[in-house]
Homo-oligomer: A and B are copies of this chain.
Amino acid sequence: MSSLKTDRIYQGNCVEVLDSLPAASVDVIFADPPYNLQLGGELLRPNNSRVDGVDDDWDRFQGFADYDDFTKGWLTACRRVLKDTGTLWVIGSYHNIFRVGTVLQDLGFWVLNDVVWRKTNPMPNFRGTRFTNAHETLLWCSTGPEARYTFNYEAMKALNDGLQMRSDWSLPLCTGPERLKDEAGRKLHPTQKPESLLHRVILASSNPGDVVLDPFLGSGTSAAVAKRLCRRWIGIEQDPDYVAAARARIQAVRSVDDPALCATPRKRAEPRIPFGTVVERGLLAPGTVLSDASGRWSARVRADGTLISADHRGSIHQVGAAVQGAPACNGWTFWHMRVEGDQTLVPIDLLRQRLRAEMTGGGTGESEAAGEALQ
């Protein structure tokens, strides 16, 4: 059996590359396969601008049977390289996710959760013909009903401010500076996923040093996040342009300097923001040093949204209380960060306020949000 080479992109057909890798050598597979969209003609917005739909060659299939064969092929190859203790994630929409789920189950994979990525800023339905398609679905599977697997329950609970992480995740689309652009300033890849999504996926189901494989690497989001979180990674991608862009992107990523920070603790009226969300959304990098206003105590940020100080570990509130020897502490106002190019310390509550502003800015499109706005 050959040894596995990690931290590299293989250019080529994913089944062929997978078949060339040693069996049972990968801990987590994250797959974002073509969705088999079946778009009609062009679609115009009410302002007559054209919607840039996905019409790439890689998303053309003859029909469901063709797509099922394709799915069976790459899932079978994935199963071989996956350790018995490994897990598999697949993301998709209603166009393909039922096909994928059925094939998965037929191949013996065991669904642990279906997770809903609830988009905070989806594209509307311009013609008023259906419900706004505002989510995508991730399937998370083990290799069988009896298989052991990695689930960092405490990390997920901490990331959700002490409440169990649910099967629905509200996260924004990948836009702004995070979105890779080509020389002409157009989006490089039509379906680039947000890093916050992969942050949660990888943190939940792997440990530092584990191997994360992506058979449809695309713009390289999964590998970039895996590298930052001190996991080993393997990407497979057919398109040379995507490979080149992903290589450059991943190259620029710095791993969190201490892997321990990447492994694995409420207010009422206002929407509660877990501190983990601040980290996940990239407003504060794991490893960042926080201190209190006087600079007497300090602690470092971990990827799951907990803090670690010289003697204590836990939520921003727990560590804040512990270092002071106090019974309780509001970590949001106790802990401060240093502003770039400035010596002043500002409370991390500013970051929470920024996220709250986003949430309440225009409503989330659900009546629940409307209810909150009334309070």
Which residue of the partner chain B has the closest CB to A137? B114
A146 surroundings in chain B (CB, below 8 A): 56
Contacts of A298 in B (CB 8 A): none
Contacts of A64 in B (CB 8 A): 105-106
Contacts of A13 in B (CB 8 A): none
Question: A153 CA to B118 CA in the complex, in Å?
Answer: 21
Q: Mark A153-188, 1 if CB is under 8 A from B, else 0.
A: 100110111011111111000000000000000000
User: Does A345 sit within 8 A of B, measured CB to CB?
Assistant: no
| Listed stretches A1-9, A242-250, A336-344, A362-370; interface member | A362-370
Cα of A328 to Cα of B31 in the assembled complex, Å:
40
Pair A115/B97 contact, Cβ less than 8 Å? no
Q: Do A98 and B105 have beta carbons less than 8 Å apart?
A: yes
Among A126-134, A274-282, A305-313, which stretch is in contact with chain B? A126-134
Cβ-defined contact, B161 with A370, below 8 A: yes
**CB-defined contacts of A366 to chain B, threshold 8 Å:** 160, 166, 168-170
Closest residue of B by beta carbon distance from A105: B64
Partner of A166, one of B99, B108, B131, B166: B131
Complex Cα spacing A162 to B162, Å? 34
Report the bound CA distance from A365 to B160 in whole Å. 7
A327 interfacial contact with B, CB 8 Å: yes
Q: Which residues from chain B contact A316 at a C-beta distance below 8 Å?
A: none
Residues of chain B contacted by A102 (CB below 8 angstroms)? 98-99, 101-102
Q: Chain A, interface size: which category?
A: 35 or more
Please state if B124 and A164 are interface contacts (CB–CB under 8 Å).
yes
Chain A positions 75-102 with a Cβ under 8 Å from a chain B Cβ: 93-95, 97-102
Is B48 a contact of A161 with CB atoms below 8 Å?
no
Identify A97's interface contact among B93, B98, B134, CB under 8 A.
B98
Residue of B nearest to A108 (CB): B57
Q: Whole-angstrom distance between the alpha carbons of A370 and B157 in the complex?
A: 13
**What's the least CB distance linking A51 to chain B, in Å?**
10
A17 at the interface (CB under 8 A from B): no
17 residue pairs A–B, Cβ–Cβ below 8 Å: A48-B328, A56-B146, A60-B105, A61-B106, A94-B114, A94-B139, A97-B98, A97-B101, A99-B105, A118-B168, A128-B164, A129-B151, A131-B156, A135-B168, A161-B363, A168-B168, A170-B366
| Extra A-B contacts (20), CB below 8 Å, given A112-B130, A131-B166, A161-B370 | A61-B106, A93-B114, A94-B113, A94-B114, A94-B139, A97-B101, A98-B98, A102-B102, A113-B130, A113-B131, A114-B137, A116-B116, A124-B164, A128-B153, A131-B165, A132-B166, A132-B167, A134-B167, A135-B168, A137-B137
